[in-house]
Amino acid sequence: MNDVVIKKSKIGQFEKGVFANRDFRMGETVVTYKNLKPLAKEEFQKLPKREKKFTHMHWGVTYLYPSPARYVNHSEMPNTVQNLKKRCDVAVKDIKKGEEITTDAKKDDTPHSKEFSERVYAICKKIPRGKVTTYKIIAEKLNTKAYQAIGQALRKNSSAPFVPCHRVVSSTGDLHGFKGKKKGKALEEKKVLLEREGVKVENDKINLKKYLYRF
**pLDDT for 139-168, tens place per residue?**
888 767 677 778 888 988 888 889 999 999
Q: What is the pLDDT of residue 72?
A: 92
Within 10 angstroms of residue 70's Cβ, the number of other Cβ atoms is: 19
Q: What is the pLDDT of residue 85?
A: 78
Domain with 18 in it: what CATH number?
2.170.270.10
132 and 98 housed in the same domain: no
User: Any idea which residues carry the catalytic annotation?
Assistant: 165
Residue at which a domain ends, from 53, 86, 107 = 107
How confident is the model over 130-141, as pLDDT tens digits? 999 999 999 888
* Co-location of 89 and 56 in the same domain: yes
Q: Which domain holds residue 85?
A: 4-107
151 and 103 in a common domain: no
| Cα–Cα nearest to 33, from 15, 1, 55 | 55
The number of distinct structural domains making up the chain is: 2
> Residues of the chain whose pLDDT is less than 50?
none
Domain boundary among 72, 107, 142: 107
Distance CA 199, CA 3 (A): 58
pTM (predicted TM-score): 0.55
Looking from the CA of 109 toward its CB, the CA atoms found within 13 Å total 20
Are 134 and 88 in the same domain? Answer: no
Looking at residue 168, its pLDDT comes to 96
pLDDT recorded at residue 59 = 66
Residues 64 and 90 in one domain: yes
Task: Give the length of the chain.
Answer: 215
